[in-house]
Amino acid sequence: MSAGPAVVLMVRGVLLSYRVQHHHHSILGGDQPVRYPDQHSYTDPEHPEIKHIDFIFKPDFETKTIVGIAEYELETPATQTFCLDTNKLQIDYARADGIDIAWELGEPNPVLGERLKLGGMEGISRFELGFRTHPEAPALQWLTPEQTMGGEKPYLYSQCQPINARSIFPCQDSPSVRFTYTAELVVPYGMSGLMAAALVEVEEKNSELSFHYHMPQNIPAYLFALAAGKISHHDISSRVRIYAEPELLQAASWEFAYTEELIKEAVKLYGPYDWERYDLLVMPPSFPFGAMENPRLTFISPTTITGDRSHVLTVAHELAHSWTGNLVTCATWEDIWLNEGWTTYTEQRIMESIEGTEFASMVAAYNQRKMLENMERIGHDSPHTVLKPELKGGDPYGAAPLVSYRKGYAFLRKIEECVGREEFDRFTHKYIAEHRFTSIDTMQFLDFLIKELPTVKDQLDINEWVYGTGFPVDAPVIETKMLEDIDQIVAAYDRGVKPNSEQVEDWSTFQRMLFLQSLPIKMSVDDCKYIETLFDLKNSRDRYLQSEFYKRAIHSGYQEILPDVVSFLSTVGRGLLVMPVWRALASTEWSKTLVEDLYHQCKPKLHPMMNQALEKMFSRIAQ
Ligand SMILES: [Zn+2]
């Protein structure tokens, strides 16, 4: 996914030091399937894995619940008990062959939810569960018609990563467990039911429409996704379709017209595209992430529709996840850098082919500085800066924002520097080919790295990169002409010389962002006004620029900005963009007394995950 709510939780306990060693499950080893202990799931590694599920889902927009039936097929028969993850689910029944199965739900855990324990499962490999979701299921957002662009029909969508699939259906909610499924999604007439799966047929039943889906490729539960609303579509190519609310379809289709080109570039780097289709669903504004790589159907934030195609890289990123993330998946959330670091690396390579190395390096520089800002805030020696953090069952997104992305990227780039691009590309192809449709952990990756590129361990300190804090001193240096130019203009600004409109006229969004990012967090109010006019930020549709600017304007005491900030916070749901603005409001003298009222206004429009992240942040700041 593209970075979302910036949640930082205290990790209980200290970071242990690790050494690269051969794990109990070498990639060369035996026939036994690899089983991972996952601190974020009640999945018992001794139990068989779910192989396939047949679902029926019926959302009820009145009660904000989905009534579900699921028929499970296990890879081998169970022995005695069988455990599944749930979160706020109501279980209606459990049956095998028409006979009731004993079940019980455990005590709720604030992170994990409730363990569903099925008893008397000896010899059973097929069973059925009836259940319904809670109106506050963390995976689901229910929008009223007024919260959509069209204002006509309600809207429902899911966000399962990292551990929210369990609030839609009972499952082994660990990224190490993969299954196939079919699903019937029943929605009121006039609405579309979309899933990250292959559409088989649409059936008309009285006043309802039944959308039948099939997911023939195995996926971990976090890649399960559904949406329902008034959604129309436009085909970009034989395998790319854009879905959006009708009001946004034309702009979205123009913005993402190059998607087929991106797929061709990605295939060059990674090998065949294994998911048949690559469709995009443009989400309602409250969507908390830049995008989510749901297989076959990426969910993408409307903040990427800026009318200038400047967010190609978000699509490049989600597309790259089709290989690194969806095809080769991190086994636990402590290994998330295997998804995000690799995907950032590939996003960067795709950008190099399409926009040139200058542009790609500038984007890399912007994002690296953003990560370093975060590290600066929490301390370079914080355990949250570790590439493979120890989460100990706490928040699955326990690392600092962007660390898994940018430090992961820098690590892979460093390896590339050590062995040369040609050798690294050979390694990448083999890495994907050998791990397709499996989930692996960091140790397995390191085993594979040392086996395939043995010289790397003599050229860099792998332990320091993977288990050390902060940003390694030997990280690749990003140099570009564009970056130098901007740094010069920033240096002039520091001496009191402001850039004029001619100097910035031809700047791309990223040049503007780099410039804003380099400005001091506190400026004079006059300077704030000057910058606002220079980049026409009052009329801009660019949420990225606005986020960078508002953060500074608030710290600088530019109080007249408040109405613009309020309108920004009530229309944008994306964590990466709104969290820094909320943080600035909550920690600045003039604005902190306003936060409670403002949040009260915005809360109903935001995704439950976002609200959770914000409330945590507010209470941390208040401490
Ligand atoms: Zn991602």
- Can you give the three-state secondary structure of 128-164, one letter per residue? EEEEECCCCCCCEEEECHHHCCCCCCCEEEECCCCCC
94 close to 118: Cβ distance less than 8 angstroms: yes
Backbone angles phi, psi at 36, to 5 degrees: -115, 130
Asked if 552 and 535 count as a contact pair (C-beta separation under 8 A), the reply is no
The pLDDT score that the predictor gives to residue 12 is 27
Cα of 178 from ligand 1 centre, angstroms: 19
- Mean pLDDT of the region 152-169: 96
Q: Which of 49, 318, 340, 416 is catalytic?
A: 318
Cα–ligand 1 centroid distance for 317 (angstroms): 6
Poorest-pLDDT segment among 241-250, 368-377, 447-456: 368-377
Mean pLDDT on 145-165: 92
Which residues face 164 on adjacent strands?
none
| Residue 535 alpha carbon to ligand 1 centre in Å | 29
Rounded mean pLDDT of 175-197? 97
Mean pLDDT of the chain: 91
pLDDT for 150 equals 86
CA of 11 to the centre of ligand 1 (A): 23
How many angstroms does the Cα of residue 357 sit away from the middle of ligand 1? 21
Q: What is the distance in A from the centroid of ligand 1 to the CA of 332?
A: 15
Chain-centroid distance, C-alpha 152: 29
Taking residues 49-63, report their average pLDDT: 98
What separation in Å is there between the alpha carbon of 277 and the centre of ligand 1?
Answer: 19
- Kindly give, in sequence order, each residue whose CB lies less than 8 Å from that of residue 305, ignoring residues fewer than 6 positions away: 248, 251, 252, 255, 282, 311
295 within 8 A of 219, measured Cβ to Cβ: yes
Banded pLDDT at 147 (limits 50, 70, 90): confident
- What is the distance between the alpha carbons of residues 148 and 490, in angstroms, rounded to a whole number? 41
Q: What confidence tier does 308 reach under pLDDT thresholds 50, 70, 90?
A: confident
Query: Considering 42, 405, 409, 558, which one is annotated as catalytic?
Result: 405
Residues 6+ away with beta carbon under 8 Å from 532: 538, 549, 553, 561
Q: Between 401 and 446, where is the model more confident?
A: 446
Q: Is the pTM of this model over 0.95?
A: no
The percentage of the chain sitting over the pLDDT mark of 70, rounded to a whole number, equals 95
**Does the structure show a pLDDT above 50 at 9?**
no
**8 Å CB contact between 167 and 135:** no
Report the alpha-carbon distance of residue 143 to residue 164 in Å, rounded: 18
- Half-sphere exposure at residue 573, Cβ-oriented, CA atoms within 13 angstroms: 24
pLDDT tens digits, 386-404: 999 998 888 888 777 789 9
Report CA(276)–ligand 1 centroid distance (Å): 20
Ligand 1: centre distance to CA 3 (Å): 7
Distance (Å) from CA 245 to ligand 1 centroid: 24
Average pLDDT over residues 475-490: 90
CA of 162 to the centre of ligand 1 (A): 12
Contact (CB, 8 A) for 345 and 316: no
* More confidently predicted of 148 and 410: 410
Give the pLDDT score at 3: 59
pLDDT higher than 50, residue 414? yes
User: What pLDDT score does 410 carry?
Assistant: 97
Per-residue confidence band for 14, with pLDDT thresholds at 50, 70 and 90: very low
1 CA to centre of ligand 1 in angstroms: 3
- Known catalytic residue at 484: no
Residue 480: is its pLDDT beyond 50? yes
186 pLDDT higher than 80: yes
The alpha carbon of 202 and the centre of ligand 1 are apart by a number of angstroms equal to 31
pLDDT band at 289 (very low <50, low <70, confident <90, very high): confident
Convert the pLDDT of each residue in 238-248 to its tens digit. Answer: 999 999 999 99
Is the pLDDT assigned to residue 323 strictly greater than 70?
Answer: yes
* pLDDT band with cut points at 50, 70 and 90 for residue 597: very high
* Catalytic residue list contains 405: yes
Residue 25 has pLDDT above 70, yes or no: no
Cα separation, 375 vs 402, whole angstroms: 9
**Which residues on neighbouring strands pair with residue 91, listed in sequence order?**
131
Cα distances (Å, whole numbers) of residue 152 to 202, 211, 246: 22, 21, 11
**Dihedrals phi, psi of 51, to nearest 5 degrees:** -105, -35
Residues 6+ apart with CB under 8 A from 500: none
Residue 541 has a pLDDT of 81
Higher pLDDT pick, 586 / 269: 586
Q: Average pLDDT for residues 186-191, to the nearest whole number?
A: 96
More confident call, 21 vs 197: 197
* Lowest pLDDT segment from 324-328, 391-395, 550-554: 391-395
Residues with CB under 5 A from ligand 1 (ion): 1, 340, 343
